[in-house]
Amino acid sequence: MKKFIITLIVLGAIAASVGAYYKYRTPGEEVKISKLAVARGDVIESVGATGTLQAVKTVLVGSQVSGNIKALYADFNSIVKKGQVVAELDPSLLQTQIEQARANVIRSQADLDRLKVSLEDAKVKLKRSESLAARKLVAPQELETAQVAVRSAEAQIKSSEASLTQSKASLNQNEVNLQHTVIEAPIDGIVISRNVDVGQTVAASMNAPTLFIIAEDLTKMQVNANVDESDVGRIRAGQAVKFRVDAYPLEEFTGTVSQVRLQPIVTQNVVTYATVIDVPNPQLKLKPGMTANVTIEIARKNDVLRVPNAALRFRPNADTFAALNQAVPPEMQRAAGGGRQGMGGGRPGEAGGAAAAPTAAPGAGSPAGGRAASGESRGAQNPPAPPAAGASQGQGGQRAQSAAPAVEQGQRGASGGQGGFGGGQNMDPEERRRRFQERMASMSPEERAQFEARMRERGMDPNNPGGGTPGGGRGGFGQSGAAGPGQRGQGGAPGTGRPTGQAPASANRAGAQTIDQLFGPLPVTESSGRVWLDASGQLKSVRVRLGITDGTYTELLSGELQAGQELVTAVVTPAQAAAASSRSPLMPGGPGGGRPGQGFPQQGGQRGGGR
């Protein structure tokens, strides 16, 4: 008995020790680095919407006369031809009215004949009175009475002729109404609705009742999609569309944007615009009234290098570098103070950095040297962010690197910016061209060749970068890479303030038939960013130029990256892991207890690498 008790005590002590070990052991001290690889694939920028399918042409077939439905010769889904009888009303009432109208015509004709006889008699009496009056055998009053009788008979004949015409018109009207009792199909098509039955009375006294609804051709249909006002600016006629319907959840249908209607649709203070999409329906699978979940393709790049957006959102902070036993890179130190630097100055950034946003400015040291016009616009579907720390440094084009170097947003262009080589907004074209040439002369031959090649790709003339009127606004550099003055926008052409590749509307007004033909093509989306590589446990930053995005991946235009390279998407330090394990998952901000970041889990309640 004693041995049994001793055995139980020993087992209990061992179990308590094991439990205490697992409960109070410290987490591992290793730093966890999450990565995703650069790969090739398709990047599609799109806009989502919902709409309703309907036939291209739909005709409501009604009745112009009242009566009972005598017969129906078409039903739901009936295929009808133009002129085919689809219904017939009871004609008995109208036939009675026709007989009455014919009797009125005969009576009016008889009255007219009687008055013509009276007129002949009056004329004979007048002729006799005139003969007697010439020989002074009758009094003058009798001659006047005979003349009045003739004129009266002539007036009565005119009245009777009008009455006869009215009777004939009434007869014709009743005969036309009798013809309207036979309802014919106005077009070739399919009956999609029948609203009456045999024996039902239709009343056409106020408006024409609808008997049938006929769709002209269901092999060609339309989708009326309601596009939000924030996305309608990127919709153009001719864009490809893909959509699904609930009836065929595994099948994808295609179409083409044909029209963006100007009439706004306001529903609970939400403004949308009707976008008409032409849809082929050769198999007649699509039916009127179906709800379509539409995806409008704004831009597409096939088989291109693409980087994960999670890597673009990652931004290390001082704690991250300390956990990796790595010194803070110089570009991070320069940007940590924020504020304006150099001649151009820049917007002060915050420690967390800026989210990915489009900008057409070239990398540090390029002729742009400052904030491009397109930096103010939104390119792909990345969220907007505060401006990056640091700024352009005047004519040298040097600027401090951002503390959150995923994307350098809002750098000034060469012409109108504060820090570019173009000078002020009131600079004349000659001075702007001279500064541009000085900047080109300071570049190496390789840099100059690359810069001119980029300008030619965007339709710009490297020999005339400052063309146009001076003082055109900020940042004419834009995506075009030219130093001409331009308005704020996405990729301004020099001196015009228009996006590259977009012709002025006035050039197309002469031959335009619709408002959709006046809109030019969308400007090319281009942005710059920064990603981080894991070089044997050390973070290394890489500057990249980016294109369109689908929300998950972003097109890589240029940079040092190759397919297969792994990019850092998150770094979890031991302190962050410990804080995450000790926090309740129900606390705001997740296990870390703070505001969630975009780069990695936050430590405590502090704001880390993400916005």
Tell whether the model's pLDDT for residue 545 goes beyond 80: yes
Measured over the CA atoms of residue 82, residue 83, residue 84 and residue 86, the dihedral's sign is positive
Q: What is the dihedral of CA 406, 408, 409, 410, to 10 degrees?
A: 180
Q: Is residue 149 part of a domain?
A: yes
Q: What is the pLDDT of residue 487?
A: 37
> What percentage of the chain reaches a pLDDT higher than 90?
45
Tell whether the model's pLDDT for residue 450 goes beyond 90: no
Q: What is the pLDDT of residue 454?
A: 75
Q: What is the pLDDT of residue 373?
A: 33
3-state DSSP helix/strand/coil percent for the chain, to nearest 5?
A: 30, 25, 45
Tell me the sheet residues that pair with 99: none
Q: Give the DSSP per-residue string, 552-605.
A: SEEEEEESS--TT-EEEEEEE-HHHHHHHHHS-TTSTTGGG-SPPPSSSPPPTT
Q: Is residue 102 part of a domain?
A: yes
CA angle 143, 147, 151 (to 5 degrees): 170
Q: What is the pLDDT of residue 335?
A: 55
Q: How far apart are CA 608 and CA 570, in angstroms?
A: 11
What would the mean pLDDT of 550-574 be, rounded to a whole number? 90
Q: Residue 157 belongs to what H/E stretch?
A: helix 140-179
Name the more confident of 36 and 518: 36
Q: How far apart are CA 165 and CA 480, in angstroms?
A: 78
pLDDT tens for each residue of 383-407: 333 333 333 333 333 333 333 333 3
Tokens (6 digits) for 360: 């057409």
Q: What is the pLDDT of residue 119?
A: 92
Q: What is the pLDDT of residue 585?
A: 62
Q: How far apart are CA 81 and CA 68, in angstroms?
A: 24
What would the mean pLDDT of 488-517 be, rounded to a whole number? 52
Q: Is residue 150 part of a domain?
A: yes
Domain that residue 114 falls in:
91-180
> What percentage of the chain reaches a pLDDT higher than 70?
68
- Backbone phi, psi, residue 177, to 5°: -60, -35
What would the mean pLDDT of 429-452 be, rounded to a whole number? 75
Q: Is residue 351 part of a domain?
A: no
Tokens (6 digits) for 364: 């540090």
Q: How far apart are CA 486 and CA 474, in angstroms?
A: 6
| SS3 (DSSP) at 376 | helix
Q: Residue 515 belongs to what H/E stretch?
A: none
pLDDT tens for each residue of 129-178: 888 888 888 888 888 998 999 999 999 999 999 999 999 999 999 999 99
Helices (H) and strands (E) in the chain, counts: 9, 21
Q: What is the pLDDT of residue 465?
A: 56
Highest mean pLDDT: which range of 129-133, 205-209, 309-313, 461-465: 309-313
Tell whether the model's pLDDT for residue 606 goes beyond 80: no
What would the mean pLDDT of 347-365 be, rounded to a whole number? 36
| Residue 169's CATH number | 1.10.287.620
DSSP state of 118: H
Tell whether the model's pLDDT for residue 598 goes beyond 50: no
Tokens (6 digits) for 435: 């500064």
Greatest extent of the chain over all pairs of C-alpha atoms, in Å? 177
Q: What is the pLDDT of residue 589?
A: 53
The CB-side HSE value for 39 (13 A sphere, CA atoms) comes to: 10
Reference 163, options 122, 106, 121; nearest CA is 106
Q: What is the pLDDT of residue 12?
A: 78
Reference 419, options 400, 387, 390, 397; nearest CA is 397
495: left (phi over 0), alpha (psi -120 to 50) or beta: left
What would the mean pLDDT of 442-471 be, rounded to a whole number? 66
Total structural domains within the chain = 1
Q: Is residue 141 part of a domain?
A: yes
Q: Is residue 120 part of a domain?
A: yes
Q: Is residue 157 part of a domain?
A: yes
Q: How far apart are CA 231 and CA 233, in angstroms?
A: 5
pLDDT tens for each residue of 253-297: 999 999 999 999 999 999 999 999 999 999 999 999 999 999 999
Q: What is the pLDDT of residue 472?
A: 38
Tell whether the model's pLDDT for residue 367 goes beyond 50: no
Q: What is the pLDDT of residue 502?
A: 46
Tell whether the model's pLDDT for residue 7 goes beyond 90: no
Q: Give the DSSP per-residue string, 175-213.
A: HHHHHTTEEE-SSSEEEEEE---TT-EE--SSSPPEEEE
pLDDT tens for each residue of 492-506: 333 333 444 444 444
